[in-house]
Amino acid sequence: MRRTRAHITEERGFTLVEVLVVVLIIPILAGIAIPSFLGQREKAHDPQAKSAVRNAAATIELFHTEAGTYAGADGATLREMEPSLEEVADANLTVAPNGTVGYTLAVRQAETGNVFTITKVSGVSSHTCTTAGEAGCPSSGEW
């Protein structure tokens, strides 16, 4: 019993200084972590738009194989051919066919405002984005 009483009297709580240090450290860590988290969240939205424009490019190539031209391809036609494009709203998918020479496809990511574009002219493709160095758009502006 004496041991128990001696053990109880030896226990002590946190000092005021220890509590203040913890209270000061937590907001500093939160100030570092929250902006980083929000930046990662923006980056997570952009792959969806990149995937959609790639799917649209594959679909317009299929349209070209069947029709012999890119002319006549539009958002509605591509959505009819590729159901996964249904998730991309009309305002976010732009299709600009250029006869038999090529096309320009653009998908705007609504959350970040990034526009991811695939342009094909005479067999040469380029992939660009509008907000270079932000979210999922590399600093070069090409992805």
Q: How confident is the model at residue 36, as a pLDDT?
A: 80
For range 8-18, the mean pLDDT: 78
Taking the C-alpha atoms of residue 75 and residue 55, their distance in angstroms, rounded to an integer, is: 12
If pLDDT is split at 50, 70 and 90, which confidence band does 28 have? very high
- The yes-or-no verdict on residue 6 having pLDDT over 60 is no
**pTM for this prediction:** 0.71
Residue carrying the six token digits 């970040």? 112
**What is the token pair recorded at 58?**
């594959």
Q: Which residues contact 69 (CB under 8 A, 6 or more apart)?
A: 97, 99, 100
Identify the CA nearest to 45 among candidates 77, 75, 87, 80.
87
For range 50-56, the mean pLDDT: 94
Q: How confident is the model at residue 74, as a pLDDT?
A: 93
Tens digits of residue pLDDT in 68-92: 999 999 999 999 999 989 887 766 8
Taking the C-alpha atoms of residue 143 and residue 119, their distance in angstroms, rounded to an integer, is: 12
Residue ranges covered by each domain of the chain: 46-143
CB contact at 8 A, 113 and 131: yes
- The yes-or-no verdict on residue 1 having pLDDT over 60 is no
> In whole angstroms, what separates CA 119 from the centre of its chain?
20
